[in-house]
Structures are given as C-alpha cells and as structure tokens.
Structure 1
Amino acid sequence: MTANGRERREPVFGRPEPDHQHDESALNIGLSRQDRAGGEMARPVSRRSSTNDSKKPLKKTSKPRRAKKPRKRRSILGRMFYTLFVLGLWCLLGVAGVVAYYASQLPPIDQLTVPRRPPNIAILAADGSLITNRGETGGREVSIKELPSYVPKAFVAIEDRRFYSHFGIDPMGLGRAVISNVSGGLRQGASTLTQQLAKNLFLTPERTASRKIQEAILALWLERKYTKDQILELYLNRVYFGAGAFGVEAAARRYYNKPAKELTLSEAAVIAGLVQAPSRLAPNRNPKGAQGRATIVLKYMRELGFINQAQADAALANPAKLNRAGSNDSANYAADFVMDVLDDFIGEFDQDIIVQTSIDLRMQRAAAKAVTETLTAKGAQFNVSQAALVSITPEGALKALVGGKSYEESQYNRATTGRRQPGSAFKPFVYLTAMEYGMTPATVIEDGPVNYRGWSPQNYSRRYSGPVQLRDALAFSLNTIAAKLIIEVGPRNVIKTAQRLGINSPLEPVPSLALGVSDVSLMEMTSAYAAFANGGFGVIPYVIETVKSAANGKLLYQRPPTSGKLGRVMSPENQAEMIDMMHNSFAIGSSRNASVPGWDLAGKTGTTQAYKDAWMMGFSSTLVTGVWMGNDTGELTKRLTGSGLPAEIWKKYMTDALATQTPKPLIGAGWQPNGNTSPSFFGTGGGDVPPQGMPQQAPRQQRQDRNFFERLFGVD
C-alpha cells in the first residue's frame, strides 16, 4: 500500500498467475524457447492473446537432429607424420627467418659486386724476363683459357667434384660431411668452390654459423650471376696458396719458378692440394705432406675421368720438385727499390701493371754471387757479416743492386737505405775541389804532421813521406794531404762539390770531413762517382724504363731520354785531372787489388776509423760500381780495409760483368798538364797503406801550387 492509498504492485516476471485483478492485456515478458540462442526470434505477442495461449504447446519449427557418428582416430603413424610435418613447417619458417636476418646484414643484392683484385706489379729485367711480382697477390691474374685443362680440373677433383652440377650449395656433399664427421671418420668440409670463393671475396675468415649462412647466400648469388667457368676462374685467381702467393700464377712462380700455363700435371696436383692447408702443406716447408696430398688429388682426378691411368702413373712416377734455382733472391733488393720510386712516376693505380727496368739479370747474379761467396769464405776471418753492391752505367741506369748477403734473411737494403761513413772513398770530392781552386795532379805537397785547432790526423802507417804529388797522395790515400787540402779550400766548399755531384745526405762542415766522417749511402756514392766516369755530368740513378697496363699494354710511363741528367758538374779539364789521379789508384795505389785485365779503371778505396766500414768505389768506361762491407750492429771488423775484401768483391763482379763487353778507354784518360806528366812510381804498396821509401817528387810547376803548399806547410 502506498501513501496515496494505492496498492503497491511488484513486477512479476514469467507467466502471470490467473488473477482477477490482472487484465488480459498484461505483457508476457517471459523467455520462450524461440527467444534463446539458436532459436527463432520471438514474435511479438498480440495484446489480444489470452494468457491461456502460453499454455499451448510450442509448435516445432525444425526437424530433430540426427545423431553424429563417432570420428575415427588417426593411427600412430599418421599422427607422427602430421607432427613431423608441422614441426618441419615451423623449422622451415625458422630457418627462413634466420636466413632473412643474416641476409639483411649483407649489402643489398642488387648493389653487390665482386671486389677488384688487388693490382699486381710485374717487375721485368731489361731483357723482358720476370724479376718478381709485387703487390698483395704475388702474381698476375690469369684466364682459365691460358691454363692446361688439368689445372682447373685438379681443383674440382679435390675440392668440389660436383661443382658443375650443384647450384652453389651441395646437399649431397653436406650430408656426406655430416655423416663422416659424426661417425668419427675422416673430417670433411662441405663448402663448395663457390662457397669458398664467396668467403674469400666478401667475408672474414672466422668459423661461425652466421658466416656459413652468409656464405651460402652469397654462393647462390654468384651462381646466378656468373657461369661455372667464370666462378672457377675467379677462384683460381683469389685462393691463397701459402708463402704470400694468392692465385695460381703466384703459386706457380713461387714454388716452381714458372708461369701457371707451364705447370706439369704433378705440379698442378701439388698446387691444388695446398688449398686445404696452405701453410702446413707448402712444398718449401713440407715436401712430403705436399706430395702426399698431391697423390690424393691424382687419385680423385682418375676416378672422375679427368685423366687416364697412364697420366696418373706418369705423374706419380715423376713427382713435382721445388725449383727456385732460376729465381734471384738478391733481385728482390732491386724490386724494393722499384717499389720505393714507382709512385713518383705513375701515382696511384688500380690495375695490373708491368714495370720494365734497367736491371741486367746476368750482372745481378754476378753481383750476388760475388757478395755471397766472399762473405761465406772469408767473412768470419775478418768478422764482417754484411756487404752491399751498386752498379750503374755512367749515365745512371741501375744494372745490379745487392742490399745484403741474403734477402730471405734480411730485407734491409744496405745499398739504398743504409748510411755509413765512407772513409777515404770521400777524398775525390776534396781533390776535385782543390783542382777547381787551381791545383793539378802534379802539385806537390808535404806529407807531414798536421795540427789544426787540436785536430791532428795521421796516415795509416803513422809515418810521413815528405813532398808528394797529389796524384800519388790520392793513390796511396794519405790522410795528411787530404786534411791540408780541405783546410785550404774550406769544408763548406767541399760539401758544395759533393752535393753537386749527387751526395744528398747531410754533411758536417768540419775538416775531418776530408776523411769521410759523415754518413752517406752506397747509392749516393756510386751516382756521384758516375760524374767522374761520364766526362763530368751529374746523374740521378734510375731503374724504371717503362710502365704499361698488363690488360691492354697501354703505356703509362716512359723515361724521357734526358731524365736523370743534372748537367755538367765539373769542367772537362778538372774531370780529366781526376781521371788521372783516380786511375793512378788502380795502377800503383790502394785499388790495385781490384784491377781487371784489359780494362782501364779508376776509383778509390775507403776504410773508416777502427776498421768499422770498408769501401771500394771504381769505374770502367761502361760501369760504375761501389761496394760496402761492415756489420749492421756497428761491431768493428778485424782490420778489414777497402783494398781487401771489398776490392775482391769488386773485382769478381766487374770481371764477370765486363766479360761480354769490349774494353774502351776512360773519358779524359791521357790528360797531360803542361805537356809533362811523368808518372812517379812509389814502389810496392797496397790498401790504404802508403809504401815506404817514396822518392822525391817532381818540382812544383805552378806559382799558385807553390803558394798553396807554403800556406799548408805552415799549419801546425
């Protein structure tokens, strides 16, 4: 009951009970079967419908469902197949994802290109024969068409026998390797030649799963982009064969001293076998291991039908033999010199080039032989371990260069890089300066004590000979005379003379410079002596004649005819005077032990204080040669003088080098001052030691000579 007197009526859900208080229009909101999910949507109830209608049974609107038959359960085999299929599908998706991930770490495929092979520098001798290859590869790039057919087939046989049938990856080889490795048999790799090439071209050498995946991806790309022969050619030119050799050409040159196109079957088998372990199997280190691997290569080649049994038997009966006898180890010093100066002529380059040099291999071998044999036979006796030799033409063309006893043991070039005191070999620059100040070879100076501001040089014999002509003073390397000359003309003027002739090393402007106390290189000294030999013209030593492209022969550089010439550096008269005095050194003086029968020669020996360094400098009309001997550590020798072993090496080399040439007189030889040049014979003597009992010399012939002598004689 509400406050206004009306009765409260609570809402009733469901079918209403019969009640007289309810009219027939009451709304029936109960849920019928049709209202439930899946049933028909309930029709709106007519207001005229009586409550009794709800009691009527509902009319069926659909047929009763048929009972479902029970499903058949899969067999165990079927369930296993289904499970494996699902797992395989997921694995495939996983692998695809991993591959896609590592592929994304590579450069875009459409931008991928094979990197250029580092350029090779083929260094040739004057006659066109190969001295050596330089660059990162050690040999030029070769075409597969240049090679005997068994060379590439040897690599296919030992590294990838299904090379011509797979698509970059070899599933059969992979399965075989897995089985062999798991079963504990001989461990095998599964990389195809294409995969190995991909690794060499694009990837780092570490062994990781990610690298192998990238290797496979790149192998597929290579197979799509290149033919099989192109891939094999790239491989043969990029693979490493040990001993610094990249590519089959470099390997052939390194181990057999021949081009790859001349390899025999047995040699090709050895080289193909190196790929597995180039450092361990290199024939110069492990000849038995290399031959054992070559035997396997030949076996596989026979199995695949690449060679017949007769060929295999012949190769096994005649195994490859290491051959480097024709190669010149010492010529690598010359090759180093070429590489040092090459940039000055052609700058940077990105292609294989051929450098023609002035080196004469016959002379080069003669030089190396003279140095090696002399050091081996007598080095220990004189406690000397190293020597260097430079030989050029009077015009400056380098013919032979030896930078040490053995290039394999030491690549330090003592001829071009090393700088040592030249000793008395420096004296010709002092004497030339004196000639330019008006003296002549006949000028007489007193060989006596010298004391200049505390400096008191002595002769080798520590004795004095009285008045001496300059030609004889130089021949017997009298220190006192050289000291008096430099004091008179001035050290700075002597430096100017030496620099004018080609000495570039810093020189100290001190009187002791006359005795060769400033360090110079053997190359500098030899080029400076060339000015005496060629009539008075300065030269810059050169070794490069031409540079060409290896691909098409295009000329990249050619030495101009005037290249290296510095012009006249001394007058013809002064040059002739120096020839007169320096020839006297071979006739009766310290260079006499280096004389070559039939040839007019001139030069000067040199020995430094305490026998630390010994030199022999000299020339004929066609060759200028310098020799240095000493120890890298600066250790003193056992009384080694320039007239000893250096003169011996010089003579051995020059005798061989001049053997094919016709003797010619020296330029300027026969000069006679004032029409009177009576030679003065000092008796016997040798080395830097003056002979005893020298007779009085000819009287002074020029007033300026007399005044010069008087000034020097007064020096205490």
Structure 2
Amino acid sequence: MKSPSLKRLTPPLFAAAVVLIGLRLWPHAPLEQAVTSSRVVLADDGSLLRMTLAQDGQYRLWLPLERISPSLVEALLLKEDRNFYWHPGINPPALVRAAMATYSGGQRQGGSTLSMQLARRLWDLNTRQVPGKLQQMALALWLEARYSKHDILEAYLNLAPMGGNIEGAEAASRIYFGKSAATVSLSEALALAVIPQQPGRRARFGPSLQNARLRLMADWRETYPHDPRNNSLLELPLEARNRQQIPFLAPHLSEQLLASHPGNELNSTLNLPLQQLLERLITGFIAERRSTGVENATAILIDSRDQSVKALVGSAVYLSTSLHGQVNGVLSRRSPGSTLKPFLYGLALDQGVIHPMSILKDLPSNFGYFQPENFDGSFVGPLTARDALIRSRNIPAVWLASQVKSPSLYGLLQRAGIKGLRDERHYGLALALGGGEMTPEELARLYVMLAGDGHLRPLRYLQDQPQSTGAPLLTPQAAFMVRDMLRRNPRPDGLPGRHWRTAWKTGTSWGFHDAWSAGLVGPYVLVVWVGNFDGRPNPAFIGAKTAAPLFFRIADALPLALPNVVIKPDKPPAGLVRIDVCAASGELPNRWCPQTRKTWYIPGVSPIRVSNLHRPVLIDTRTGKAACPPFDARYTREEVFEFWPSDVQRLYRAAGLPRRTPPNVMKNCQPNRLSDQSEAPQIRSPLTQVSYQLRLSQPQESIPLNANAASDATTLYWFADQTLIGQGPPHTTLNWRPGKSGEYRLRVSDDQGRSASRGLRVEFVP
C-alpha cells in the first residue's frame, strides 16, 4: 500500500515526465543547423585538397559522432566530463568544488559540463560573472531536455575551440594532422582533447600542449590499463601543421567542384600523386619552352574504365596574374583543330563510306566555294584512310565530311552535348578541320567514348557519382577500328612505343592560337592543350611540335607512376572480320594485284568490290605499243599496268614519283577482260525459283554455294546483298547459313571483275 506522501508526489512526477517527453518530442531543428560549415574537397584517398571558411569566418566541419574516432571521444570525456552520461546537464558537486577553489583564493578550476560548454558556444555567453553562469546552467538544462546525449556530445565535438578560427575535431584534425577525425591515433586524440581548455596557447603544439597531453595520458593509462596502445611511444612530441599550411591543392578542380556541386564534403575521384605528377611535368615543360613563347598549358587525365577524372591542371601557374592563371582552361572553349578527325572517320566507317584500307585521294579539290588545303601546303595523292587520318590530311577529311549523313559530324557533336555550337550552315565542311569550338573537358569526353564501346558517358568528378551510359555515337566496331588506326600513329620523337600503347591525335587551330594532343594511354584518356588564354597566336603552337611532346612526356610517366595497373588487350568486338584487299586500291584483289594487305571489315556495312586498278595489256614487242589483231605470238606479250585517273597521274609526276603510263588501247583492239561478261561465273547453287528451308533444330544445315568460272579466274567472292560472306577457289563449295529468314540477293564475282547474281528466299522452320 502506497504512503500518502508518495501519492502526493506521483502526479507532479508524472506531469514532469510528460513535460520532458513533450520537450524532447516537440519538433526542433538539429544542432548542426545552429552554425554554418566549411566545405572540403578530398582526393580519392581522403587527402585534403581544399577547405573553405564557414560564413562566420571559422574553419568548422560537422562530422557525425559515429565517424569520429572512439579514442577521441573517450579522451575528451575523460578530460572534460567523466559523468557526462549521468548528469542532467549540470554537475552540482563539480560546480561547488570549482566555486570553492576559485573564490577561496585557490587554483581556478572549471566545473562546467560538456552541456554547459556547448550552451556557452551556442549562445556566446559571458560566464565569468554569476548571472552569466546561471544563464549557462539554465540553457544546459534546456539542451538536455530538448536533445539527446548523443546529439549534445556530437555538437560539442564539432564546436569545441581548437585555436584561432578553428572549431571542432574534424577541422582541427584536417588542419593539424592532415587526416580525418575518424582516423586519428591515440596520441593525436589526446592532443586534440586538451586543446579546448586553452586553445590560444595549446594550438601552437608547444610545451603547454605537451604537458597537458602527458597528464591526460597518465589518466588514460590508469582508466584503460589494458589498452595495448599504452605500450607505444605516446610520450613523443607530435608534429602538426598550422593554419598557414592548410592544403590548397588542385585549385582549378577544387573550385570547379565547389561551384557546381552541393554538400560540405566533396569526395572527388582525383588521384593526388597523378595530379602532382602532371603539375610537375607541365611546369618543367613550360620552363624548357619559354624561350619559344610557350607559357601556358592545360591537361586533363581520365580513367576510361570508370570515367573518373584523375588529374586536372587548369593552367600552368594558378597564382600568375599575367597568365590569367586562375582561369580554368579545361573549361575554356577553343578550336580543336584536327583532334575531331577520328570521330569523322568513325562516322564514315559506320556509314559504309570507307574501311581502314580504303584509298582516299589527297588532291587539289573544290567543295563548292570551299577550297581546303593541307597544313604543309602539299598533296600526296592516293593513300589509305588509316594513313590519311594519322597524317592528318585535310582534303580526305573534307571529302569524308561531305559524304557522311545522319548523323553528320555536326550531328554527332550535338548528340555528344557539345555546347556553344552555332548553326550547322555556319561551319559547313570546315567543321571537319576544327572550325567549331569546344572545351578540353568536352573533347576528353569524346575520347572516353572512343576508348569504350562508342557510347557517350559523363565524366565522374565525385566518387558517389554513378556510372551511366548515354547516347551511342559510334558502334563498337567503328570505335575499335579508329583506335586501331590511331595506334599506328608514330611518336613525334621517332622513338618506339614505350610501356603502354597509345592511340593519339594532334590538332592545330587556324592562325596558330591552339596546339592540342589527345588520345588514349593504356586505360587512360589524356588531353593536352598549349596556348594563351588571351588568344595571342604563336607559330610555335603546332600540335605535333608543341602539344605532342608534352603529351608523351606525361604518357611515358604514367606506367612508372602506376606500376600495378593491369593492361588488358583491346580485343575486336563481335561483328568485325579481317579480309585481304589489294594494297594499291583497297579493294578485293583481282588476279593481277601484286600485293595484298589485311583490313578490318564490317560485313554488310563496309564498302567492298573487286579491284580493277591493275589490268593486263597485250604489248607488241616490235613497237612497244598495244597490240591489235591479228596477234602474233612471237611478238606479243602481256604486261600489267596501273590504270590511275589522270589527276592522280599528274600529281605523281609533280611529286617526282611518276607511274608507268598505260599504252593507248584502240577500241575493240584488245579483249576487255574486266568488262567481258561472256565468261562470267555461272551459279550452280543455290537454284533459282526455289525457297530454301532450314531447320532451327539442325544448326549444321546450310545452303551450298558453288559456281562455274572461266579458266583464268582463280578466286570467287560471294556476297549476300552487300555483305561479303566468303571466298575461295572456283572448284570449292562454300556453305552458308544466314542469320534469319528473308529475301536475299546472292552475287558471285571472280578476280577478273566479272559477276553474276540471283535472288532466293530462306525460311527457318522448327
């Protein structure tokens, strides 16, 4: 049975409990919102790159209690408030003891709890006088009623004075030790725990801090006698940085992230050693080339495997006012020159205009009112598409630009999200030569696309940015062929390839304003720009002579800086085959082609036909002219000539490399072996007027293809629609199984250029 006094106390106690619960549950702002925070940019390993001031001029970084080192939390409670979890916000015995020591003339002592110290920080109280002290106690009780012990301890750890304008454990740990408060050692935690009592003196990390840390260390060993860290060299003095040594690294990237992304903690993908490597190499390169007027350069390095930006140098000297060094050149628009040509060639490969060994003409040409010239002012005549790309010939590029459609090069750039483009008619075909403008970052994104499967992917600057796939700009087959072509580009220094294979391209803008070099270095994409931010031209700003040496200086250093990177072979994707073509014409070799070479080929897309460049002519040995009937075997021999167009012949002569001119052949004077269809192949199988049925359950079933051929034919080429499906001697049978049901037109051509065709229908049945 309850006593009367207990009965009288129950209602007030119940009411007090309801009030306390109501205060705790009533909505209230988190303590974190009571102050503003600094912002930090971190490297991929957590190293500090940049820390800003909070709005009130303090260095303050709010870190959740769970992420703060337990050693630091325990050391702080041991030093400041051992009964923190047991008192309601004030500790009366401690207050009485502190008052007696202070006002009886003894040594001044503190009796404030962590809750009281937090109240003083939050409301900026003057607690040296009794009214202020009473106000502090009342507000501490208010904090305890409104917030949990967890929230109060977290707030104090983030607001404790740590010297000067540094507040909180995280900011102090970042500034003094270069690490997060989550990873401080026990020795560092003990030092941070004693700074708030005398922040002005102890933040200098002098004798005052060392003595206080040693006293707290003795208390720690007494309180935690079994801690294995007690036997380490905790007594050794600590080395710490000061506020003047706060890191200011990767300034352009840090400013870019702070301006474009919210949040107080930005965990970037930047690799600090690689960043410092690029900065060091660019500084050295500028120093060597300064006599030629080279004063500024930018570079961006990206890991193509996850599209993460690993290094970004926005200018050679950030603090240089004469160079406008604080401008982020990686985000500045410039004419990219010929660095766009690989994407034009990729479109041409995808649209069936060329294959890598197609022969293009580098001849004086007019495209309406546009009369492009090569950089060196000369013309080289016929050359393969691969050589035209790596030698950066302008005439073939403009011709390709006139051929590609849906999309054009302009359309590809639009789909890639290149900003600032004018109307397509403004550029015309000159866009293929770098007539537009883009940033090094945008160009790097295009080369990341080229390094992969042809899909555009956004660059990742932050670790929490997910990898995503954008629009397909090229097929995997075209992207691979362009990479393969660019890997044949020789180094500008003539040295053999070192370490990692590179697939690279240079660019020079009109008027020598910009020099570029961009490409793939192992699994990385590197874009380098050399020029002046104010647009001043310089004859030294030539991609191959200025940007390429810097590009390869970085490319050669990467394998040494990243010895553990595993380089995977670049395997061709499905849908690519290798075929032999005539080296001189880039087409299927006829019987007179003296030399063949391999090329990649997309069945059904890449252009292919039998070459007719090499043709036989019967020569009368008595006159040296073409023979006419009646032929006398004693004075007649067969010779093979190259039948080049007259404009190519003139160019060869002008270059001092004349080709042997074929003799004039009178009409109907000699058998025209390349057009005479009387001995064209005769298809024996498949049959006409027959529908072929193939069983899905029998994957080995196929349609036999064979044909009779003239005695002078040595090779037959079989096509289904426009797809080369096989080749072989006339007497062999080719087995063909199409991929799906439908109507097909089969064509067979011999190496004399004669052909025959027929249609057939194929049905797949169960």
Report the alpha carbon displacement of residue 463 of structure 1 after superposing the two structures with TM: 4.4
Q: Partners in 2 of 1:333 and 1:282 — Cα distance?
A: 34
Q: Partners in 1 of 2:201 and 2:315 — Cα distance?
A: 28
2:436 is the alignment partner of 1:512 = no
**Equivalent pair of 1:508/1:518 in contact (CA under 8 Å):** no
**Equivalent pair of 1:138/1:245 in contact (CA under 8 Å):** no
Q: Which residue of 2 aligns with 1:689?
A: none
Letter in 1 for 2:283: T
Question: How is 1:459-608 mapped onto 2 (pairs within 5 angstroms)?
Answer: 459-486=374-401, 493-501=408-416, 503-506=418-421, 509=424, 510=427, 511-542=429-460, 559=466, 563-567=468-472, 569-571=473-475, 574-585=478-489, 588=490, 596-597=497-498, 599-608=500-509
Report the alpha carbon displacement of residue 664 of structure 1 after superposing the two structures with TM: 0.6
Q: Which residue of 1 aligns with 2:361?
A: 445
Q: Partners in 2 of 1:653 and 1:407 — Cα distance?
A: 22
Aligned partner of 2:333 among 419, 425, 440: 419
Report the alpha carbon displacement of residue 628 of structure 1 after superposing the two structures with TM: 3.6
Aligned partner of 1:643 among 548, 551, 558: 548
Q: Partners in 1 of 2:430 and 2:202 — Cα distance?
A: 54
Letter in 2 for 1:147: S
- Sort the Cα spacing of 1:458 and 1:234 in 2 relative to 1 into closer, same or farther, 3 A: same
- Provide the secondary structure at the position in 1 that maps to 2:572: coil
1:442-489 deviation digits (Å, cap 9, x = unpaired): 322225487974x66654444444444432232122345434544565
Question: How is 1:172-183 mapped onto 2 (pairs within 5 angstroms)?
Answer: none
Q: Which residue of 2 aligns with 1:432?
A: 346
Q: Partners in 2 of 1:529 and 1:273 — Cα distance?
A: 53
**Equivalent pair of 2:69/2:184 in contact (CA under 8 Å):** no
Question: How is 1:145-224 mapped onto 2 (pairs within 5 angstroms)?
Answer: 146-148=70-72, 151-152=75-76, 156=80, 166=91, 193-201=114-122, 203=123, 217-222=138-143
**Equivalent pair of 2:72/2:193 in contact (CA under 8 Å):** no
Q: Which residue of 1 aligns with 2:518?
A: 617
Question: How is 1:275-424 mapped onto 2 (pairs within 5 angstroms)?
Answer: 275=196, 289-295=204-210, 297-298=212-213, 301=216, 317-322=236-241, 329-330=249-250, 333=253, 340=260, 359=269, 364-365=271-272, 367-382=274-289, 383-393=294-304, 396-398=306-308, 400-404=310-314, 414=328, 417-424=331-338
- Provide the secondary structure at the position in 2 that maps to 1:531: helix
Report the alpha carbon displacement of residue 342 of structure 1 after superposing the two structures with TM: 7.7
- Provide the secondary structure at the position in 2 that maps to 1:538: coil
Unaligned runs of 5+ in 1: 1-107, 284-288, 344-351, 548-558, 681-698
Question: How is 1:626-705 mapped onto 2 (pairs within 5 angstroms)?
Answer: 626-634=527-535, 639-640=540-541, 641-653=546-558, 656-657=561-562, 659-665=564-570, 667=572, 675-676=581-582
- Provide the secondary structure at the position in 2 that maps to 1:482: helix
2:41 is the alignment partner of 1:140 = no
Report the alpha carbon displacement of residue 400 of structure 1 after superposing the two structures with TM: 1.9
Q: Partners in 2 of 1:520 and 1:168 — Cα distance?
A: 71
Give the aligned length. Answer: 533
Report the alpha carbon displacement of residue 575 of structure 1 after superposing the two structures with TM: 3.7
- Provide the secondary structure at the position in 2 that maps to 1:530: helix
Letter in 1 for 2:71: L
Pick the structure with more strand per residue. 2
1:380-431 deviation digits (Å, cap 9, x = unpaired): 333334423131325x532624244699969979486443332221222333
Report the alpha carbon displacement of residue 617 of structure 1 after superposing the two structures with TM: 1.9
Q: Which residue of 2 aligns with 1:26?
A: none
- Sort the Cα spacing of 1:145 and 1:610 in 2 relative to 1 into closer, same or farther, 3 A: closer
- Sort the Cα spacing of 1:398 and 1:316 in 2 relative to 1 into closer, same or farther, 3 A: same
1:554-584 deviation digits (Å, cap 9, x = unpaired): xxxxx58xx31434x3345544542343223
- Sort the Cα spacing of 1:676 and 1:235 in 2 relative to 1 into closer, same or farther, 3 A: farther
**Equivalent pair of 2:48/2:178 in contact (CA under 8 Å):** no
**Equivalent pair of 1:386/1:405 in contact (CA under 8 Å):** yes
- Provide the secondary structure at the position in 2 that maps to 1:564: coil
- Sort the Cα spacing of 1:124 and 1:678 in 2 relative to 1 into closer, same or farther, 3 A: farther
Q: Partners in 1 of 2:97 and 2:538 — Cα distance?
A: 68
Q: Which residue of 2 aligns with 1:15?
A: none
1:7-42 deviation digits (Å, cap 9, x = unpaired): xxxxxxxxxxxxxxxxxxxxxxxxxxxxxxxxxxxx
- Sort the Cα spacing of 1:642 and 1:460 in 2 relative to 1 into closer, same or farther, 3 A: farther
- Sort the Cα spacing of 1:628 and 1:538 in 2 relative to 1 into closer, same or farther, 3 A: same
Q: Partners in 1 of 2:531 and 2:197 — Cα distance?
A: 44
Report the alpha carbon displacement of residue 508 of structure 1 after superposing the two structures with TM: 5.5
Q: Please, which moves more after superposition, 646-655 or 317-326? A: 317-326
Q: Partners in 1 of 2:303 and 2:242 — Cα distance?
A: 30
- Sort the Cα spacing of 1:430 and 1:114 in 2 relative to 1 into closer, same or farther, 3 A: closer
Report the alpha carbon displacement of residue 374 of structure 1 after superposing the two structures with TM: 0.8
**Equivalent pair of 2:282/2:316 in contact (CA under 8 Å):** no
- Provide the secondary structure at the position in 1 that maps to 2:172: helix
Letter in 2 for 1:391: I
Pick the structure with more helix per residue. 1
- Sort the Cα spacing of 1:481 and 1:116 in 2 relative to 1 into closer, same or farther, 3 A: farther
Unaligned runs of 5+ in 2: 1-22, 55-59, 224-228, 587-610, 615-643, 652-766
**Equivalent pair of 1:195/1:216 in contact (CA under 8 Å):** yes
Q: Which residue of 1 aligns with 2:156?
A: 235
- Sort the Cα spacing of 1:140 and 1:473 in 2 relative to 1 into closer, same or farther, 3 A: same
1:675-713 deviation digits (Å, cap 9, x = unpaired): 345899xxxxxxxxxxxxxxxxxx9979xxx99x99xx9
Q: Partners in 1 of 2:364 and 2:433 — Cα distance?
A: 16
- Sort the Cα spacing of 1:225 and 1:539 in 2 relative to 1 into closer, same or farther, 3 A: closer
Q: Partners in 1 of 2:181 and 2:143 — Cα distance?
A: 25
- Sort the Cα spacing of 1:225 and 1:388 in 2 relative to 1 into closer, same or farther, 3 A: same
Q: Partners in 1 of 2:397 and 2:202 — Cα distance?
A: 57
Letter in 1 for 2:411: K
Amino-acid identity (%): 21
**Equivalent pair of 1:338/1:543 in contact (CA under 8 Å):** no
- Provide the secondary structure at the position in 2 that maps to 1:540: coil
- Sort the Cα spacing of 1:666 and 1:659 in 2 relative to 1 into closer, same or farther, 3 A: farther
Q: Please, which moves more after superposition, 204-213 or 573-582? A: 204-213
- Sort the Cα spacing of 1:391 and 1:479 in 2 relative to 1 into closer, same or farther, 3 A: same
- Sort the Cα spacing of 1:221 and 1:635 in 2 relative to 1 into closer, same or farther, 3 A: farther
- Sort the Cα spacing of 1:110 and 1:429 in 2 relative to 1 into closer, same or farther, 3 A: closer
**Equivalent pair of 1:334/1:400 in contact (CA under 8 Å):** no
**Equivalent pair of 1:416/1:522 in contact (CA under 8 Å):** yes
Letter in 1 for 2:168: G
Q: Partners in 2 of 1:500 and 1:450 — Cα distance?
A: 29
Report the alpha carbon displacement of residue 124 of structure 1 after superposing the two structures with TM: 9.0
Q: Partners in 2 of 1:378 and 1:479 — Cα distance?
A: 29
Q: CA RMSD in A?
A: 5.9
- Provide the secondary structure at the position in 2 that maps to 1:140: coil
Structure index of larger Rg: 1
- Provide the secondary structure at the position in 1 that maps to 2:64: coil
- Sort the Cα spacing of 1:314 and 1:471 in 2 relative to 1 into closer, same or farther, 3 A: closer
